[in-house]
Amino acid sequence: MARIRVAVNGFGTIGKRVAEAISKQPDMELAGVVKTKPDYVAKYAVSSGIPLYAPSDRLDAFREKGIPVEGSLEDLLEKVDVVVDATPGGVGKEYKHVYERFGVKAIFQGGEKPEVAEVSFNTFCNYEEALGKKSVRVVSCNTTGLLRSICALSKIAKIKKVRATIVRRASDPKEVKRGPVNAIVPNPAKLPSHHAVDVKTVLPSLDIATTAVVVPTTLMHVHIVFAELEEEVTRDDVVSALEQTPRILLADAGLGLASTADLVEYARDLGRKRYDIPELVVWLDSVAVLGGREVIWMQAVHQESIVVPENIDAIRAVMEAAKSAEETIRITDRTLGLMSGRIP
Ligand SMILES: NC(=O)C1=CN([C@@H]2O[C@H](COP(=O)(O)OP(=O)(O)OC[C@H]3O[C@@H](n4cnc5c(N)ncnc54)[C@H](O)[C@@H]3O)[C@@H](O)[C@H]2O)C=CC1
Ligand SMILES: O=C(OP(=O)(O)O)[C@H](O)COP(=O)(O)O
């Protein structure tokens, strides 16, 4: 079968990771990436063998800097089946009509409003809904983390409601202009935070409310989650459900994996490129069940990489190249070297 030809528009934090993940898929071909700025990242793309394109009004800027470009965004869209839009939040919607004009299916990111796409998406919760769609929105990093554990838990019991607090990292490591540097900021102070609203774009009937604060760190987000169930479960049931779910890792604080800094160090020790942790990490020690129906846990989200596997699955979904979540998860996780279960 012919490989799926994919373009990536935007080669920043998410775009560069998704592009590299696409190039590892046996059923996909990375046709090229689009960058607006002729900077060191553009040179990195070229030196990595990634075909580089630019918006037509930016081509001269690249040529002036001596950075070879293959052509314009439009030239690239002519060659592909799917485009992954990884432009900054809110910019993707400006490109929607361009993608439609070229008859190219589009995967948008969580920084776009839900209306940008036919369906908001998480592999573990609603893979089948995205099959054959023209456009899909992969929800944001925090929402992806919440959905992975919530949908794992929903396999053992019906969930009555979820309440979660999100401790958000202030910026990505490469962002120099953002704060706070020395404060904890309710974000937003007026409840709920947008994360609950975003979860409901995938699970509309779930009773969920979230609060969020921003803290001065760049490594990862942390969530403290309370779920009330309709049925009684044991702690062992919950741990076993999490252990058996792909892309969820259980970290033992008692073994020294006690903070986001330790998790990042572990990823470095594994030799993970850019210390990426696309898996959701749940602290095993934190999992508690009160009175049989109330489940509590804490989890960490590596914001720069958690949505990468879901982007790959979304490409397969729109192209109907994998009929089930299990099928795409098997391929994505093997090719990206993703792990599950307890961190040994
Ligand atoms: N960074 C994060 O932690 C996460 C980001 N997201 C979402 O992913 C999307 C992309 O975010 P990031 O990768 O963080 O942004 P970024 O700022 O790191 O990268 C955006 C890229 O798009 C390029 N760009 C800017 N304007 C453009 C335009 N008009 N046309 C084409 N390209 C343009 C930029 O030069 C850059 O290469 C956003 O929707 C964001 O909300 C989702 C999960 C996590
Ligand atoms: O999508 C993200 O966060 P979110 O799930 O809190 O919306 C990314 O971490 C980007 O968030 P930002 O809007 O703080 O750059």
ipTM for this model: 0.96
Q: Residue 82: its pLDDT value, please?
A: 98
Minimal-distance CA residue to ligand 2 atom 13: 111
Q: 315 and 290 in one domain?
A: no
Q: 131 and 38 in one domain?
A: yes
Q: 170 and 131 in one domain?
A: no
Domain-located, residue 343: no
Residue 227 β-bridge partners: 162, 295
Q: Coil, helix or strand for 315? A: helix
3 is in an annotated binding site: no
Q: 287 and 265 in one domain?
A: yes
Q: 281 and 255 in one domain?
A: yes
Q: Residue 36: its pLDDT value, please?
A: 97
Q: Which one of 80, 141, 222, 318 is the catalytic residue?
A: 141
Minimal-distance CA residue to ligand 1 atom 36: 12
Q: Residue 152: its pLDDT value, please?
A: 98
Q: 166 and 133 in one domain?
A: no
Q: How far apart are CA 337 and CA 191, in angstroms?
A: 38
Q: Which residues contact 230 (CB under 8 A, 6 or more apart)?
A: 157, 158, 159, 160, 293
Question: What CATH number is associated with residue 158?
Answer: 3.30.360.10
Ligand 2, from 303, 305, 307, 310: best to mutate by most atoms within 8 Å of Cβ? 303
Domain-located, residue 342: no
Q: What does each of the 344 residues of the chain score in pLDDT, given as a tens digit?
A: 799 999 999 999 999 999 999 999 999 999 999 999 999 999 999 999 999 999 999 999 999 999 999 999 999 999 999 999 999 999 999 999 999 999 999 999 999 999 999 999 999 999 999 999 999 999 999 999 999 999 999 999 999 999 999 999 999 999 999 999 999 999 999 999 999 999 999 999 999 999 999 999 999 999 999 999 999 999 999 999 999 999 999 999 999 999 999 999 999 999 999 999 999 999 999 999 999 999 999 999 999 999 999 999 999 999 999 999 999 999 999 999 999 999 98
Residue with tokens 């589009």: 106
Q: 312 and 302 in one domain?
A: no
The secondary structure element, H or E, covering residue 142 is helix 141-153
Q: Residue 323: its pLDDT value, please?
A: 98
- Concerning whether 141 is annotated as a catalytic residue, the answer is yes
Q: How far apart are CA 344 and CA 333, in angstroms?
A: 18
Question: What CATH number is associated with residue 19?
Answer: 3.40.50.720
Burial of 88-107, coded b for 16+ CB within 10 Å and e otherwise, reads eeebbbebbebbeebebbbb
Amino acid symbol at 221: H
Domain-located, residue 80: yes
Q: 249 and 210 in one domain?
A: yes
Name the domain count of the chain.
2
- The closest alpha carbon to 31, from 91, 65, 73, 59, belongs to 73
Domain-located, residue 302: yes
Among all ligands shown, which has an atom nearest to the Cα of 53?
1
Q: 148 and 11 in one domain?
A: no
Q: 299 and 153 in one domain?
A: yes
Q: Residue 344: its pLDDT value, please?
A: 83
Q: Residue 1: its pLDDT value, please?
A: 77
Domain that holds residue 179: 142-306
130 is in an annotated binding site: no
- DSSP state at residue 274: G
Domain-located, residue 344: no
- The closest alpha carbon to 39, from 21, 64, 7, 73, belongs to 64
Q: 314 and 190 in one domain?
A: no
Q: Which residues contact 2 (CB under 8 A, 6 or more apart)?
A: none
Tokens (6 digits) for 63 = 């040529």
Q: Residue 225: its pLDDT value, please?
A: 98
Q: Are strands 208-215 and 159-169 parallel, antiparallel or unpaired?
A: parallel
Domain-located, residue 204: yes
Q: 210 and 155 in one domain?
A: yes
- The closest alpha carbon to 50, from 96, 80, 16, belongs to 16
Amino acid symbol at 213: V
